[in-house]
Amino acid sequence: MCKVYIVRHGKVDFHWRNWCNSTEFDSDGQEYDRSPLTDDRYSVSGLADGKIYISTLPRTKDTAVMLFGQKEFIMSELIHEVPLRSGFDSKLKLPRWFWCVLGRLQWYFNHSRQPESRKLSHERAKRFVELICNDDIDCTVVTHGFFMHTLLSELKNSGFNIPKTHAKYNNGECIISERQ
């Protein structure tokens, strides 16, 4: 039996522009990736104390340190957030939600404008699931909100039971998946 605890990183101390052109949207995304966490504190009881995986983005390491203290974490690009960029070049300021929805639709339909397609995201998640299945030990994965959907889907495809899923995962939320 193997349990995987999937935790969404803590809240990032960044304020997105509500209206922006394509260049500003892309710039905000890059700045968000470099921003620290807020002072909010998270604790999740019962996490696996074995291997702890984090992505290459600083917010996952900061969250892991908050949850586990200073330990050795295994950093992996396989659990990095699905990158997002503006859906097209425009000087016209549009609402941020528009850029997000369009970008994720392009990702879903494997459009070349996005840095990574849905197909590549699933391949990446599948490689990560194979990695942790080969170890066959309980582990914790600190990752990102959008990528969690892809990761949970691949865990389910590999025989893991996932009792609760939803459309949006809160910062610091933990989903437990288990394989018999």
Q: Where are the domains of the chain?
A: 2-179
Tens-digit pLDDT profile for residues 80-115: 999 999 999 999 999 999 999 999 999 999 999 999
Of these ranges, 46-55, 124-133, 165-174, the one predicted with the greatest mean pLDDT is 124-133
Residue 121, sorted as left (phi over 0), alpha (psi -120 to 50) or beta, turns out to be alpha
Q: Is the pLDDT of residue 163 over 90?
A: no
Candidates 150, 131, 142, 125; CA nearest to 5 is 142
User: Looking at residue 40, what is its pLDDT?
Assistant: 85
Write down the CATH number for the domain with range 2-179: 3.40.50.1240
Query: What totals of helices (H) and strands (E) does the chain contain, helices first?
Result: 5, 7
Strand-pair category, 139-143 with 74-75: unpaired
Instruction: Return the closest-CA partner of residue 77 out of 29, 128, 137, 123.
Output: 128
- Render the burial of 121-140: b for 16+ CB within 10 Å, e for the rest: beebbbebbebbeeeeebbb
pLDDT in tens, 65-76: 999 999 999 999
Q: Residue 147 contacts by C-beta under 8 Å, 6 or more apart in sequence?
A: 79, 80, 81, 82, 121, 125
Cα distance between residue 30 and residue 109, in whole Å: 23
* Predicted local confidence at residue 84, as pLDDT: 98
Q: Is residue 49 over pLDDT 80?
A: no
Q: Each residue of 6-47: pLDDT tens digit?
A: 999 999 999 999 999 999 999 999 999 999 999 888 888 778
